[in-house]
């Protein structure tokens, strides 16, 4: 059977696209081959639906440039392809020929289809071989009819040939039957191993005592070696007279006439059969040779079929394992876990027992993946799988559902405290750090627990409720466990309602910007404003940004919402400038997700051009935590924004871990004191000290300092006394709609 390669298993749904294109709706499972210049130009890489789902607004160039241009040859074997897919965790592997031309792509599905196609071909050949065996059986039956006196011997031969696999006792029956059929005094069957040595050797006519005295099996250096090497039959009246006869080993019975035939099929020699010395003293006839060759041919087909069936069994076993186990960790997958949970529930229902389901989700795994790379992430998942396996008992079932999600089923739970004990053990087991590629990585997990029959009586609800409890742990600070309650379920339903409504908020014109004045302390006049997002849904009513912004980030909607906020705010800033209110600063919050996008500066440039806002009016507010992560990349991004003539402000300053050495490297213009320090600045000495330190630090770096959340005259007096440049808060004005803010500007209201 021909060895399958990547060229035999190309995925049919591959669409060629150009780098600058964006995705279009294609058939499910489509891979996109990305080219530069033209569809016949330079191949840049593969993009999958998973890539597109993760970054729906990226062009294809952005989707493929974050990973190395990895490809395989059309001659790469199936096993190598499967191994590479497992290792790389890619949707597909590009296939490129020796000339560098893109040939196509392979996926796990296309490879498995290729294997299944080969399996069908193997089965077809097996049926063909069975037909050949049946034909040979009919021939032997005809010989049996002609030789009625040897009917029992021929029937014994047919019994052997009816098997699809051969064991040594069957070979013994075979040689005894063949020797009886041909009236031979001695006979033997020898089967070869992969190295050409004798693996199985059975004889007739030689006693056990003689075999012990003879010792080693025949080496095949004489006439029997000729039979194997040349794949030919030998029939001699006196073998001693033949020049290639090697004689007999010590203690071997003397033999004269010889009939030796190869056991072979399609040029592959499996072994040999030899018979010596007929009982009547006559030489072996051509008819005897025909019978022996016929039997040897049938025997070769049985051997060939047995080995084909062994290969098919290996493929079937491999496919079954792939279908039910996770390729990376070797743990059962979601399908097998669901089957096992179904059986456990049925057993518990009959016995009146209880089953616990633990939904385990690693904390901050995406950040680890992004920081250290997917290879480190994969090794971390293997370590986690090993540690979790060490927490299981006999009868428990651990599975990897997807990504960094694991499931542990505990059957026969006598008390819910048993589930809590296992959860505590898991948290303790994951706590020690691990070292991967010179990185020290700390792990923790959020665990949700649901119980049968307490919470639900079916697999789907148990998994959903355990997931809900896990989500509750995530929101509560992570690295803990929680049992499911109906209150959690209602929170998840509310979360889902908000997420679904938020997906349509922009299109249905439900979002609005309010503006809060920023006031210069020295002059008391409005010198700027901060744009603050508000959302009122017709069904859900007004929803706080503190509630819907985290949901937007989790759901991947923050990018679109952030662009809408920036464009809307800049367009309004242009209108105020046209009214004559020039010199104002317009502050807009930027999420960490927006800021880290590679094309963020390009998007800002386009929005500036589209809105026509005066240069220098826009000021982007970025949180301290977002700026302090990956400082070299942050500096590069800020430098690019700085060339657009916009201001940069560090929002919520004091809540992160900035250092003076880092701050002085950043092209920023404003520090914003977080409201948490302003609230108690007049009664809490620690907050007062922090506020004073921020003001002093900002002025030492020649930065403006603005305090947000200023609500009382005492707070204002403290800030004035210590030289704070600007304030923002309810003391002057709450955030107001556009019309009210415009009225404030016309009024010329000042800080008193």
Q: Buried b vs exposed e over 420-433: b needs ≥16 C-beta within 10 Å?
A: bebbeebbebbeee
Structure tokens at 356: 């616990």
Of these ranges, 169-178, 314-323, 326-335, 661-670, the one predicted with the greatest mean pLDDT is 326-335
Q: What is the mean pLDDT of residues 563-582?
A: 93
Q: What is the mean pLDDT of residues 396-406?
A: 91
Q: What is the mean pLDDT of residues 244-264?
A: 77
Q: What is the mean pLDDT of residues 200-213?
A: 75
What confidence category does residue 150 fall into, taking pLDDT thresholds of 50, 70 and 90? very low
Of these ranges, 480-489, 662-671, 687-696, the one predicted with the greatest mean pLDDT is 687-696
Q: What is the mean pLDDT of residues 151-164?
A: 53
Q: Buried b vs exposed e over 152-177: b needs ≥16 C-beta within 10 Å?
A: ebbebbbebbeeeebeeebbbbbbbb
Predicted confidence (pLDDT) at residue 147 exceeds the cutoff of 70: no
Q: What is the pLDDT of residue 312?
A: 67
Q: For helices 334-351 and 286-324, give the axis angle rounded to 10 degrees.
A: 80
Q: Buried b vs exposed e over 685-694: b needs ≥16 C-beta within 10 Å?
A: eebbebbbeb
Distance CA 599, CA 700 (A): 33
Query: Considering Cα of 302, then 304, then 310, then 315, what sign does the dihedral take?
Result: negative
Q: What is the pLDDT of residues 438-489, one digit of tens each?
A: 888 888 999 999 999 988 889 999 999 999 899 888 888 889 988 888 776 6
Which one has a higher pLDDT value, 374 or 576?
Answer: 576
Of these ranges, 1-5, 51-55, 712-716, the one predicted with the greatest mean pLDDT is 712-716
Residue 223's φ and ψ, nearest 5 degrees, are -60, -40
Domains of the chain plus CATH, in order, are 6-108 (3.10.580.10), 147-310 (3.30.450.40), 334-484 (3.30.70.270), 504-747 (3.20.20.450)
296-299 contact pairs (CB < 8 A, 24+): 296/261, 296/262, 296/263, 296/264, 297/136, 297/265, 298/133, 298/136, 298/137, 298/140, 298/161, 299/160, 299/161, 299/166, 299/174, 299/189, 299/263, 299/270, 299/273
Q: What is the pLDDT of residues 515-554, one digit of tens each?
A: 999 999 999 999 999 999 999 999 989 999 988 888 888 7
The C-alpha R_g of the chain, in whole angstroms, comes to 40
What confidence category does residue 211 fall into, taking pLDDT thresholds of 50, 70 and 90? low
SS (H, E, C) 312-346: HHHHHHHHHHHHHECCCCCCECHHHHHHHHHHHHH
* Contact of 107 with 31, CB cutoff 8 Å: yes
Predicted confidence (pLDDT) at residue 157 exceeds the cutoff of 60: no
What mean pLDDT, rounded, does the chain reach?
84
Q: What percent of the chain is modeled with pLDDT above 90? A: 26
Predicted confidence (pLDDT) at residue 643 exceeds the cutoff of 70: yes
Q: What is the pLDDT of residue 618?
A: 93
Q: What is the pLDDT of residues 283-313, one digit of tens each?
A: 998 888 888 888 888 777 777 776 766 666 6
Q: What is the pLDDT of residue 220?
A: 60
Q: What is the pLDDT of residues 579-635, one digit of tens each?
A: 999 889 999 998 887 887 878 888 899 999 999 998 889 999 988 777 766 677 777
Q: What is the mean pLDDT of residues 26-49?
A: 86
Structure tokens at 683: 């009664």
Q: What is the pLDDT of residue 1?
A: 63
> First-to-last CA distance in the chain?
92
Q: What is the pLDDT of residue 607?
A: 92
Query: Considering Cα of 114, then 119, then 120, then 122, what sign does the dihedral take?
Result: positive
Q: What is the mean pLDDT of residues 670-698?
A: 90
Distance CA 474, CA 468 (A): 10
What confidence category does residue 315 fall into, taking pLDDT thresholds of 50, 70 and 90? low
Predicted confidence (pLDDT) at residue 686 exceeds the cutoff of 80: yes
Q: What is the pTM of this model?
A: 0.49
* Contact of 361 with 470, CB cutoff 8 Å: yes
């Amino acid at each position: 059977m021909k060895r399958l390669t990547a060229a035999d298993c190309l995925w049919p749904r591959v669409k060629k696209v150009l780098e600058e294109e964006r995705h279009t709706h294609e058939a499910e499972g489509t891979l996109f081959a990305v080219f530069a210049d033209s569809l016949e130009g330079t191949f840049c890489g593969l993009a999958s639906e998973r890539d597109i789902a993760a970054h729906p607004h990226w062009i294809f160039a952005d989707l493929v440039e974050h990973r190395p241009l990895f490809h395989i040859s059309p001659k790469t074997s199936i096993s190598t392809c499967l191994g590479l897919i497992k290792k790389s965790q890619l949707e597909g592997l590009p296939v490129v020929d020796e000339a560098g031309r893109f040939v196509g792509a392979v996926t796990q599905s296309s490879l498995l289809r290729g294997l299944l196609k080969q399996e069908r071909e193997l089965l077809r050949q097996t049926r063909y071989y069975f037909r050949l065996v049946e034909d040979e059986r009919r021939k032997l039956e005809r010989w049996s009819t002609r030789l009625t006196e040897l009917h029992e011997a021929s029937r014994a031969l047919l019994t052997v040939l009816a098997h699809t696999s051969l064991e040594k006792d069957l070979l013994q029956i075979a040689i005894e039957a063949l020797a009886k059929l041909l009236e031979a005094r001695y006979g033997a069957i020898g089967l070869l191993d992969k190295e050409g040595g004798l693996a199985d050797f059975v004889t007739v006519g030689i006693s056990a005592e003689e075999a012990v005295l003879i010792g080693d099996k025949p080496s095949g250096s004489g006439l029997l070696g000729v039979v194997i090497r040349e794949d030919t039959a030998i029939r001699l009246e006196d073998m001693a007279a033949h020049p290639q006869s090697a004689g007999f080993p010590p203690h071997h019975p003397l033999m004269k006439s010889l009939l030796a035939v190869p056991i072979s099929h399609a040029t592959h020699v499996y072994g040999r059969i030899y018979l010596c010395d007929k009982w009547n003293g006559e030489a072996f006839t051509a008819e005897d040779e025909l019978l022996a060759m016929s039997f040897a041919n049938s025997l070769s087909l049985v051997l060939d079929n047995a080995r084909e069936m062994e290969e098919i069994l290996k493929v079937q076993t491999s496919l079954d394992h792939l279908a039910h186990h996770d390729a990376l960790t070797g743990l059962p997958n979601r399908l097998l876990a669901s089957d096992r949970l179904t059986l456990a529930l049925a057993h518990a229902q009959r016995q009146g027992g209880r089953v616990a389901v633990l939904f385990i989700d690693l904390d901050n795994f995406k950040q680890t993946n992004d920081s250290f790379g997917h290879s480190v992430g994969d090794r971390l998942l293997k370590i986690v799988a090993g540690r979790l396996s060490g927490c299981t008992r006999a009868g428990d079932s651990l599975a990897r559902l997807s990504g960094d999600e694991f499931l542990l089923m505990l059957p026969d739970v006598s008390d819910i405290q048993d589930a809590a004990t296992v959860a505590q053990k898991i948290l303790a087991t994951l706590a020690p750090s691990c070292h991967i590629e010179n990185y020290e990585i700390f792990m923790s997990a959020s665990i949700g627990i649901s119980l049968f029959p307490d919470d639900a009586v079916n697999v789907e609800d148990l998994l959903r409720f355990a997931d809900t409890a896990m989500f509750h742990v995530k929101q509560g600070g992570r690295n803990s466990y929680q049992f499911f309650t109906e209150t959690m379920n209602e929170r998840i339903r509310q979360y889902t309602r908000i997420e679904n409504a938020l997906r349509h908020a922009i299109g249905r014109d439900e979002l609005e910007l309010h503006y809060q004045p920023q006031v210069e302390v020295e002059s008391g006049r409005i010198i700027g404003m901060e744009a603050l997002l508000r959302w009122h849904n017709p069904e859900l009513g007004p929803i706080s940004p503190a509630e819907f912004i985290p949901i937007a980030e989790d759901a991947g909607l923050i990018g679109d919402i952030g662009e809408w906020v920036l464009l809307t705010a800049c367009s309004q800033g242009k209108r105020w400038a046209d009214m004559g209110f020039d010199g104002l600063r317009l502050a807009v919050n930027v999420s960490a997700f927006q800021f880290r996008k590679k094309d963020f500066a390009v998007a800002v440039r386009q929005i500036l051009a589209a809105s026509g806002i005066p240069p220098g009016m826009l000021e982007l507010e970025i949180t301290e935590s977002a700026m302090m992560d990956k400082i070299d990349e942050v500096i590069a991004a800020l430098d690019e924004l700085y060339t657009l003539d916009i201001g940069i402000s560090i929002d919520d300053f004091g809540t992160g871990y900035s250092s003076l050495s880092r701050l002085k490297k950043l092209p920023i213009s404003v520090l914003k004191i977080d409201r948490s320090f302003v609230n108690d600045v007049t009664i809490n000495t620690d907050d007062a000290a922090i506020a004073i330190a921020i003001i002093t630090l900002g002025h030492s770096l020649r930065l403006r300092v603005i305090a947000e959340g200023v609500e009382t005259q005492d707070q204002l007096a403290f800030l004035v006394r210590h030289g704070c440049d600007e304030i923002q808060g309810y003391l002057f004005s709450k955030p107001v709609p556009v019309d009210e803010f415009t009225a404030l500007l016309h009024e010329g209201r000042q800080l008193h």
